[in-house]
Amino acid sequence: MGDRCAVVLVPGIFGFDSFGPPAAPRIEYFAGVVGELMHATGWPRDRFVVHVPSPTGPLAARVASLHQRVEEVLSRPGVERVHLVGHSTGGLDARLLVNPRYSWPGAPDLRERRERVARAVASVITVAAPFGGSPLARRLRGGLGAVVPALNLLSILLMDRGLGLRTQLALVGPALRQLLPGRHGERNVNRLGELALALIERRDQETAEQVVRFLRAIVRDQRLHGDLTPEAMADLNQAIAGADSDSIASFVTVSPPPPRKLVGRHPAARLFYAIAYRLATPEGDARRRFPDGPWLLDSRARDDLRTKTAGDGVVPSASQVLAGRRAAAIVLADHLDVIGHYEGSHVGATYLKSGADFTNASFSALWRAVGLRLGDAEARRTSVAA
C-alpha cells in the first residue's frame, strides 16, 4: 500500500525546503518530519516531496505554484494519487487547491486541469493553518513588517548548531537596527546578505548563497501579509463557502500565554514570543470559540488554554479549523515546535520560547498521528479504486 501515491509537504509563510548540499542539507523547514512519516506509513523516502512556494508572495501565486507542483508529481512514473500536508499557510494553500470555488488568474485550461488534480488528491492534512487569518498579518504590515526578515534570519541561523547563540545574536542585532522603519530598500537586502555570509560562508558558501537569495525574495515581496489578515480571509471564506473538501483534517496548535516577567533561559527568545503572541491575539468581535477536538497525548491539565484568545504565537487556535468542523487533534505546541524547531530537538532551533514544553515524544506523536491518517486515507482510496 502507498506504492502509487506521493505526499507533498507544503511549508508556510517564510517557508523553504532546505539550505545546503542536497545530500546533506544543513537547515530544513520540515526538520525530522519525513522520518516520522516514513516510520508511521512504511512508505519509502522518495514518496515524500517538499513544495517550495514564494516565501511571502501573494496567496494566489502560492496556490498556482502548488497546482503546478502536484501536476509535476503526478507525471512521475507510478504516481496516481497525492496527499497534501501543509503547515501554516501551506495548509491554506492545500485547502484552496481542492476548493472548486477558488480560482487564480492566468491559469490555462483551468477547469480541466483543476478537476484532474482535485480527483488525484486523496487527502489534505493541515497543521496550524490560518483559515480565519491572523491579526499578526495585519499588524506586521507597514513599519513592523520590516523587522520580520531579520527575525526569520535569526530562526534560520538558530537551526545551524555549529554557530554559538552569542555569535548569532551579536550579528543579528545590527540587522534589526537596519530594518527599523525608515530604513527600507536595497541597503536592507545587502545588510542581510552580509550577515548571512558572515555567519555561514566560512564553513559553507553554498548554504550562505541560498539563504541570501531567500532573504531577498522576502524583502522584495511581502504581499502575503495582506492576504492573511482576518478581514481578507473573512471575504475569501465567504466567497468559497460550502465547497471545501471533506478530506481536510486539521491539527490545531495552542501554546501558553507569555508570562508577565521574562524568566528563565534565553530572555531574547522569550521576548520574541511574547511580542508575537500579543500581536497575534484576536480582539473584540474577531474572537471565536476554541475548536472542539481531542488533545494529542494526555493534556487535560491544559484545558485552561481553551479560550477565545488562545493561539500558538502566530495563528489564533480558533482560526485553525474550518467553520463547523472539529479538530483532528489539539496539540500543545507553538507555531514552530510542530515542524521540528523546538528547544531540545535534534536540531535545537527556535526563536520562540513559548513554554509549551514540546518534546521529542510530542513531535513523534504528532507526526505519527498524521502518518496514520495518511495511511487510512490511502487505504480508503485504494479500496474504492478496487
Do residues 10 and 72 lie in contact, with contact meaning Cβ atoms separated by under 8 Å?
A: no
Question: Model confidence over 336-381: pLDDT tens digits?
Answer: 899 988 876 555 556 677 888 899 999 999 999 999 999 999 998 7
- Is the pLDDT at 240 greater than 70? The verdict is yes
Q: How far apart are the first and last CA of the chain?
A: 12
Q: What is the arithmetic mean of pLDDT over 241-263?
A: 90
Q: What is the arithmetic mean of pLDDT over 176-188?
A: 48
Exposed/middle/buried for 284, CB within 10 Å: 0-12, 13-18, 19+?
exposed
Do residues 315 and 12 lie in contact, with contact meaning Cβ atoms separated by under 8 Å?
A: no
Which residues have C-beta within 8 Å of that of residue 365, sequence separation ≥ 6?
A: 296, 297
Exposed/middle/buried for 128, CB within 10 Å: 0-12, 13-18, 19+?
buried
Q: What is the pTM of this model?
A: 0.88
Confidence band of 262 (pLDDT split at 50, 70, 90) = low
Spatial separation of the C-alpha atoms in residues 48 and 268, rounded to whole Å:
35
What's domain 1-134+227-386's architecture? Answer: 3-Layer(aba) Sandwich (3.40)
Return the beta strands (E) in 188-276 as ranges: 248-254
Question: Model confidence over 161-178: pLDDT tens digits?
Answer: 555 555 555 555 554 454
Q: Which of 74-78, 119-123, 213-217 has the lowest mean pLDDT?
A: 213-217
The pLDDT of residue 179 is: 44
Structural domain spans, the chain: 1-134+227-386, 143-224
- Is the pLDDT at 183 greater than 50? The verdict is no
Most confident of 145-149, 187-191, 236-240, 283-287: 236-240
Question: Model confidence over 55-94: pLDDT tens digits?
Answer: 888 999 999 999 999 999 999 999 999 999 999 999 999 9
The pLDDT of residue 42 is: 95
Q: pLDDT > 90: what percent of the chain?
A: 48
Confidence band of 290 (pLDDT split at 50, 70, 90) = very high
Q: What is the arithmetic mean of pLDDT over 90-111?
A: 85
